[in-house]
Amino acid sequence: MPSAIDESARILSFGRFELDRAKRRLARDGKPIALTPKAFDLLMLFVERNGQLLAKDEIMQAIWPDSYVEETNLTSNISRLRKILDVDGVRYIETRSKHGYCFTADVESRPSGDNTMEDPGADERSTTERSTANSRMRRIALVSLLVLACTIAALLTWQWPISKGGAVAGGPIRSLAILPLKPLVADQRDEALEMGLADTLITRFAAEGSLAVRPLAAVRRFAGLQQDPLSAGRALGVDSVLDGSIYRSGDRIRVNARLIRVIDGSTIWAATFDEKMTGLFDVQDTIAEKVAAALSFEFSSDKRAQEARRSTDDTEAYQQYLRGRYHGAKLTLVDNEKAIEYYLRAIEIDPQYALAYAGLADAYLTLPLSSDLAPNEYFPKARAAAQRAIEIDDQLTTAYATLGWVALWYDWDLEEAEMLNREAAKVSPDDPDVRRFYAHVLSNSGHHEEALAEMELALKADPLNLRTLALYGQFLLHAGKLDESIASLRATADLESQFWLTHLFLASAYIEKGLFTDAIAETRLAGQLSVSLAPRAFEAVALAKMGKPDEAQEILKQLIELRSERFVPPHYLAMISNALGNTDDTFRWLEEAYASRDAKMSFLLVEPKWKNLHSDARYQSLLLRMGFEPQASGYVRVGPR
């Protein structure tokens, strides 16, 4: 029988594991194990209630109170815990079919004392100092989370005057969320088509500007088969939701669609369409027109003309494009490679398909940034594809944005990036992606306050965008707002624990704060979620700074040896060498990073880990060659708009 535990005990142990409630730390055989905040909360709940059957709804309410999340968040966290805990053939978390979960270990409890689990960060500072720092950081994180929640609520109220589906019954509809379609038959799911049709409709309605439409990044998380549209609408703070289902059989497609008023669940409009796949465009057009009519507005003729220029008349090319979009949004190496294949197929079918070229450009752009592939190979490909897209359609915002990113990451030409951002803003001045792009230009050139202001505008339009939230935390770090950065990134990690950039940026901030053990835990989480070498580099930096140069040197050696198999950004090698105090090696690697157009060099001006080099003539020479000119306020290149 599982044993009862002392509710006041600090240390809970089971098998080879010890859980420290106060320090929120799990260890196996005395060695710490990295866990996300939500995974730790989930484990704590299981351990404290060992032997009890916990229903899924009960767990969801305990771990994610006052917020809507999909059940997949629970199952993914349980899966992660099982991978960590299930050693020696022991299974601690049992699934009780149709009932819930049960933690079956014998748990022992005891107060802290001489035999508490090893604190691997004890050599960083005294116990008292660490306790004080942790308490302070928890307070900051709590304040930040509250501030973030209040800010998002305020922003939603500003963007949509009546929040939480707050249009009064029968009142005007001012905001809309178009949810991904659900399959009528679960085992015949085509997520690319389901997500793609929603994406197309979102783009069309958002182009009008007369209705606040939630972007795809915000609605993507509501694609679960059991998703309740009213709950999604309330979570997104909109007045109405377009929900639907799709069924494909052979060359025919059936789409059920309904427009729902969130405040009372009433159906404003509903219809069923049964067409051949070749009639897919007609189905989309009819849904758009009917929803527009139900919401009492019409699509303008110039918007229709723009839509026509950006589309293709070939449904097969369109489906290939949708699959490219679906995989490209996942930002993994495998998915990006799949996305490129689908975009190329779409272009082969329709060589004038501007959106396919724009998607291809974005996929090429992502590979050096998220997967550390050779910049000299993929940035030029991204530029060429984006330029071709603009030749076909000179109003394509995403293509201008891609050219701007190439200017920022590859050319290090911030003036060109600024100009291209202006071109994108002419077409879509309030696009949150355009705002984020300009904020990046401002941040990397040292205009921190202007950058943060732009990010806040981007978050007004899309407050749950993980990339924007993570970058906001990074820009706070580069602005010298360290505590705010950590608090913001922690809040983002609580919102979604599987986004690797959040953990990477949090590790970087922890290094600056001197919380090296915490930094290493975050780098290992980021490494589990990404193929990028950045987490390994930041782990080595943390090890070097916490007084473990041999371990840092071993990682550096491994990365150098890896260069015989793949491109390893020299910037990472320079960062580790600098942390180890090898200044000459640091500049040797930085020169190689400069020669290879290493994208991370664009952070050279603002990354705090280079502060110790600022007075070195070699560092100043690099900045000058990259186009940063010295002024009284420091090295700058572009000014605020």
Same-domain check for residues 488 and 632:
yes
**Alpha-carbon distance values, 16 to 81, 117, 249 (Å):** 14, 11, 52
Report pLDDT for 341: 95
Same-domain check for residues 102 and 167:
no
Report pLDDT for 94: 84
1 — pLDDT class (breaks 50, 70, 90): very low
Report the C-alpha gap between 477 and 486 in whole angstroms.
8
274 within domain boundaries: yes
Report pLDDT for 140: 41
Contact yes or no for 261/268 (Cβ under 8 A): yes
Determine the 3-state secondary structure of 37 from DSSP. helix
Contact yes or no for 175/211 (Cβ under 8 A): yes
Give me Rg for the CA atoms of the chain: 26
Report the C-alpha gap between 387 and 354 in whole angstroms.
10
**Residue scoring higher pLDDT (286 or 27):** 27
Which structure tokens are listed for 302?
A: 């110039």
Report pLDDT for 640: 37
93 — pLDDT class (breaks 50, 70, 90): confident
Report pLDDT for 117: 42
Q: Which of 93-107, 325-339, 499-513, 536-550 has the lowest mean pLDDT?
A: 93-107
CATH of the domain at 64: 1.10.10.10
What is the rounded average pLDDT of the residues 211-216?
A: 80
**Does position 295 have pLDDT exceeding 80, yes or no?**
no
What is the rounded average pLDDT of the residues 419-447?
A: 85
Contact yes or no for 345/322 (Cβ under 8 A): no
Report pLDDT for 155: 39
Report pLDDT for 572: 97
78 within domain boundaries: yes
**Alpha-carbon distance values, 549 to 18, 22, 119, 437, 552 (Å):** 28, 30, 19, 37, 5
Same-domain check for residues 514 and 534:
yes
478 within domain boundaries: yes
Same-domain check for residues 283 and 322:
no
Q: At what angle do helices 448-461 and 432-444 cross, to 10 degrees?
A: 170
Report pLDDT for 208: 64
pTM beyond cutoff 0.75: no
Report pLDDT for 583: 97
Q: Which of 32-36, 449-453, 558-562 has the lowest mean pLDDT?
A: 32-36
444 within domain boundaries: no
Domains: count for the chain: 4
Same-domain check for residues 494 and 584:
yes
Determine the 3-state secondary structure of 465 from DSSP. coil
Contact yes or no for 490/513 (Cβ under 8 A): no
Report the C-alpha gap between 278 and 266 in whole angstroms.
32
Mean pLDDT of the chain: 80
Report pLDDT for 4: 54
SS (H, E, C) 316-373: HHHHHHHHHHHHHCCCCHHHHHHHHHHHHHHHHHCCCCHHHHHHHHHHHHHHHHHCCC
Report pLDDT for 156: 38
Q: Which pLDDT tens digit goes with each residue over 317-343?
A: 988 998 898 888 777 788 889 999 999
Same-domain check for residues 269 and 327:
no
Determine the 3-state secondary structure of 211 from DSSP. coil
CA dihedral for 468, 471, 477, 480, sign (positive or negative): negative
Amino acid identity at 40: F
Query: Among residues of the chain, what percentage have pLDDT more than 70?
Result: 81
Contact yes or no for 593/571 (Cβ under 8 A): yes
Report the C-alpha gap between 119 and 487 in whole angstroms.
23
Place of tokens 């190689």: 592
Report pLDDT for 129: 40
What is the rounded average pLDDT of the residues 4-27?
A: 77
**Does position 209 have pLDDT exceeding 80, yes or no?**
no
Same-domain check for residues 66 and 107:
yes
Report the C-alpha gap between 360 and 594 in whole angstroms.
26
Place of tokens 């998915």: 335
631 — pLDDT class (breaks 50, 70, 90): low
CATH of the domain at 510: 1.25.40.10
**Does position 427 have pLDDT exceeding 80, yes or no?**
no
Contact yes or no for 94/83 (Cβ under 8 A): no
Same-domain check for residues 364 and 400:
yes
Report pLDDT for 375: 94
Report the C-alpha gap between 362 and 379 in whole angstroms.
10
Report the C-alpha gap between 79 and 495 in whole angstroms.
18
Q: Which burial class, exposed, middle or buried, applies to 477 when counting CB atoms under 10 A from its CB (0-12, 13-18, 19+)? A: buried
436 within domain boundaries: no
- Please give the helix or strand (H or E) that residue 376 lies within, else none: helix 375-392
**Residue scoring higher pLDDT (433 or 64):** 433
Other Cβ atoms closer than 10 A to 550: 8
Sequence-separated (6 or more) residues with CB below 8 Å from residue 171: 162
Other Cβ atoms closer than 10 A to 294: 16
Which structure tokens are listed for 391?
A: 């030749």
**Residue scoring higher pLDDT (518 or 184):** 518
Report the C-alpha gap between 38 and 365 in whole angstroms.
32
Other Cβ atoms closer than 10 A to 20: 18
632 — pLDDT class (breaks 50, 70, 90): very low
What is the rounded average pLDDT of the residues 204-209?
A: 71
Same-domain check for residues 373 and 251:
no
Most confident of 22-36, 139-153, 223-237, 305-319: 223-237
Report pLDDT for 7: 58
Single out the residue in 300, 322, 344 at which a domain terminates.
300
Domain assignment of residue 107, given as a range: 11-120
573 — pLDDT class (breaks 50, 70, 90): very high
Amino acid identity at 374: A
Q: Which pLDDT tens digit goes with each residue over 39-86?
A: 888 888 888 888 888 888 788 878 876 555 556 667 777 877 887 887
99 — pLDDT class (breaks 50, 70, 90): confident
128 within domain boundaries: no
Report the C-alpha gap between 624 and 433 in whole angstroms.
29
Single out the residue in 103, 120, 137 at which a domain terminates.
120
Report pLDDT for 533: 94
For residue 522, which of 538, 543, 546, 541 has the smallest C-alpha distance?
Answer: 538
26 within domain boundaries: yes
Report the C-alpha gap between 127 and 83 in whole angstroms.
31
Report pLDDT for 298: 64
SS (H, E, C) 553-576: HHHHHHHHHHCCCCCCCHHHHHHH
| 8-state DSSP, 222 | G
Same-domain check for residues 274 and 317:
no
**Does position 579 have pLDDT exceeding 50, yes or no?**
yes
Same-domain check for residues 322 and 285:
no
Place of tokens 């040292």: 446
Q: Which pLDDT tens digit goes with each residue over 352-390?
A: 999 999 999 999 999 998 888 999 999 999 999 999 999
Give residue 556's Cα distance to chain centre: 28
Report pLDDT for 112: 55
Phi, psi for 26 (deg, rounded to 5): -110, 140
DSSP of 498-537: T-HHHHHHHHHHHHHHT-HHHHHHHHHHHHHH---SHHHH
Q: Which pLDDT tens digit goes with each residue over 154-176?
A: 333 333 333 333 344 556 788 89
Q: At what angle do helices 500-513 and 482-495 cross, to 10 degrees?
A: 150
What is the rounded average pLDDT of the residues 535-545?
A: 97
| 8-state DSSP, 410 | I
Report pLDDT for 61: 77
Same-domain check for residues 289 and 322:
no
Report pLDDT for 414: 83
CATH of the domain at 247: 3.40.50.10070
**Residue scoring higher pLDDT (30 or 161):** 30
147 within domain boundaries: no
Report the C-alpha gap between 241 and 236 in whole angstroms.
10
Determine the 3-state secondary structure of 114 from DSSP. coil
Q: Which of 42-56, 121-135, 590-604 has the lowest mean pLDDT?
A: 121-135
